[in-house]
Amino acid sequence: MPDVITLGEPLVEFIDKHKKGSLKTLTEFVGPFPSGAPAIFADAVARLKVSSALIGVIGSDEFGELLLDRLKEDGVDVSHLRVAEGYTTGTAFVTYSPSGSRKFIFHLRHAAAGQLSPDDVDEEFIASAKFLHIMGSALSLSPSSREACYKALKIAVEHGVKVSLDPNVRPELLSIDEIRRICKPVLDEAYLVLPSGEEAMMLTGEKTAEEACRTLIDEGVEIVALKRGARGSIIFTRDRVIDVPAFKVEEVEPTGAGDTYDGAFIVGLVRGWPLEKVGLFANAAGAISVTRIGPINSCPYLHEVEKLMATRET
């Protein structure tokens, strides 16, 4: 049984080669790349040598086969990845503006990914894990996907499985107010929350990221890992604030870096490392992931992260 389980939307992604900043403009796309925030997370955990599983739904098509092959090859448990006949595998198209902001068009809710349901969640499977990781994108995906997440959450709480949340805000899927509402049941039970600054403020209504993270701690979250991209990360607990420096790398494509950070952070917790090492490990994994193209393809292997961390130690 896997140590870390997540659930949600496996998909394939097409990336605007020329970064036009608009999905209305004639351009060239590269892909398909296996992707989807939960799939990236599960793959990152597996490549870092902790057992992981993805609960989700793919279509009976070549995109689904691409995802299945990638996840299997990297060691992700796909025993609860269902193939839905009559539905196509989820897709996403992404472009970047000159400022680095992203625009997405998703085909998910009415694709296979959106058919995830409570029936896909097995109690014994969830109860066996050490961590259940839930993402805002899976909560936003469809009503049935949300109920699957809530069922998994209930099982995890009943069996003492630690719960982590990445808000992973997707305004393309639901409004921010709605995302705040649907994240609340998970926040109420979360041991670990891994937001960006904007997401932390969105969840709490606070005016700064740091205030928002402290509010989350005051409301019962044990650990908050604030992701700050090129500025590294800050870890908050009730007793400590740990500023973890970034690794300087040349960015090629950032999609999936936050999911990779999440996976690496939880790998460190599963291994029982001190938080300083956990944060540095997660920063290193996230940094490596932005240096190459393709969200899952860019997930680093354990030896790569250890090599980058060694540069900080020398």
pLDDT tens, position by position, 36-51: 999 999 999 999 999 9
pLDDT, tens digit (0-9, with 9 covering 90-100), for 55-66: 999 999 999 999
The confidence score (pLDDT) of residue 247 equals 95
Q: Give the H/E segment covering residue 59.
A: strand 52-59
Closest CA to 190 of 144, 233, 235, 135: 135
Question: What mean pLDDT is predicted for residues 288-311?
Answer: 95
Number of domains, the chain: 1
The confidence score (pLDDT) of residue 173 equals 62
The yes-or-no verdict on residue 190 having pLDDT over 70 is: yes
Is 188 marked active-site?
no
Q: Rounded to 5, what percent of the chain is helix, strand, coil?
A: 40, 20, 35
Of 14-23, 114-123, 174-183, least confident by mean pLDDT is 174-183
- Name the band, by pLDDT with cuts 50, 70 and 90, for residue 18: confident
Q: Are strands 162-166 and 11-16 parallel, antiparallel or unpaired?
A: unpaired
Query: Which residue of the set 77, 120, 166, 259 is catalytic?
Result: 259
Domain containing residue 89 = 4-313
The confidence score (pLDDT) of residue 201 equals 92
Question: What mean pLDDT is predicted for residues 15-36?
Answer: 91
The yes-or-no verdict on residue 33 having pLDDT over 90 is: yes
Question: What mean pLDDT is predicted for residues 173-194?
Answer: 89
The yes-or-no verdict on residue 314 having pLDDT over 50 is: no
Question: What mean pLDDT is predicted for residues 174-196?
Answer: 91
- Name the band, by pLDDT with cuts 50, 70 and 90, for residue 312: confident
Question: What mean pLDDT is predicted for residues 114-124?
Answer: 97
Instruction: Report the CATH number at residue 44.
Output: 3.40.1190.20
Q: Is 260 helix (H, G, I), strand (E, B) or coil?
A: helix
